[in-house]
Amino acid sequence: MSTPPVFPHRHLLGIEGLSPADITTLLDMADRAVEVSRLVEKKKTTLRGRTQINLFFESSTRTQSSFELAGKRLGADVMNMSVASSSIKKGETLIDTAMTLNAMRPDLIVVRHHAAGAVQLLARKVDCSVINAGDGAHEHPTQALLDALTIRRNKGDIRGLVVAICGDILHSRVARSNIILLNALGAEVRAIGPTTLLPAGLDRMGCKVFTSMREGLRGADIVMMLRLQRERMNGSFVPSVKEYFHFYGLDAEKLAHAKPDALVMHPGPMNRGVEIASDIADGAQSLIREQVEMGVAVRMAVLEALASNLPNG
């Protein structure tokens, strides 16, 4: 007699499509992974004999090393493949690379790509489980999960919390995944930014939209800052770094509009003095370093959940 799978999905391509129960399952597993990671002996054997390939078409330090550590702590053989996007012919190589890797019979492939939908495309071509580590401006599900885990461990429950996501939402996969996840778990989600950095139809995606930090942060429990890419700072989307920081950079004055016990998050890497002041990033209300620790735990949980559905799992 077989029991139904704990996590009924073959891939993790996005938060979209996950039920609240799926999300909670992953967060509960991640809580247990945090305990493992805090032991001296961090090694588990859940993924012994399994092969995990990290295929990164876009450079990443933190996400890639986080997935690598997570796989290794679970006993998998982890291989990193960084494909500098300048040296490949885009797209065609994505599928060709996928087919080539598939022939090596990996069990799990972790993919980051600069184009939205690229990970779905790849998942259709391989036989193993695929984890989206960020596709263009579409989704970054493990980031949203680690953010949720961090919030849950600090606030107890996500339901009813007011979460303000601030900055460049237009180009942010982190924002999209977070908006979907936080709505699924019953938070009130706000989006704050200059309108040039807000996607069309955002108000219909489960957000209250604000263009003023003061108004948007009022009564917020969580302030989630987003990175502003350098090429978008000088006249294309916002006039200058100076102006952006003045109106949207998180400093003590703006943070004072949120609840006194509000917590500050950032997916990294941070631009200090652009979207966040240094003293806030390093201050008592900041969860930024804890987010990194939770990143490893969440990725362990995701790998374990998917591996339990693999053949001979």
Contact positions toward other proteins, by CB under 8 A?
A: 16, 90-92, 94-95, 113, 115-118, 120-121, 135-139, 173, 176, 199-202, 204-205
Shortest reach from residue 312's CB to other proteins, in Å: 29
Active site residue 93: no
Kindly tell me which of 231 and 261 has the beta carbon lying closer to other proteins. Answer: 231
Choose the catalytic residue: 9, 10, 44, 62. Answer: 62
Distance CA 131, CA 78 (A): 14
Active site residue 140: yes
Shortest reach from residue 98's CB to other proteins, in Å: 11
Q: Is the dihedral of CA 38, 295, 207, 130 positive or negative?
A: negative
Shortest reach from residue 63's CB to other proteins, in Å: 17
Kindly tell me which of 41 and 92 has the beta carbon lying closer to other proteins. Answer: 92
Residue 142 near residue 299, CB atoms below 8 Å? yes
Give phi and psi for 194, each to the nearest 5: -70, 145
Q: What is the DSSP string of 294-308?
A: HHHHHHHHHHHHHHT
Choose the catalytic residue: 63, 97, 142, 150. Answer: 63
**Segment (H or E) for 212:** none
**Segment (H or E) for 208:** strand 208-210
Shortest reach from residue 238's CB to other proteins, in Å: 17
Kindly tell me which of 117 and 269 has the beta carbon lying closer to other proteins. Answer: 117
Choose the catalytic residue: 32, 38, 90, 114. Answer: 90
Shortest reach from residue 40's CB to other proteins, in Å: 41
Query: Which residue, 248, 184, 266, 161, is CA-closest to 211?
Result: 248
Kindly tell me which of 74 and 133 has the beta carbon lying closer to other proteins. Answer: 133
Active site residue 112: yes
Active site residue 289: no
Kindly tell me which of 20 and 136 has the beta carbon lying closer to other proteins. Answer: 136
So which residues are the catalytic ones?
A: 62-63, 90, 112, 140
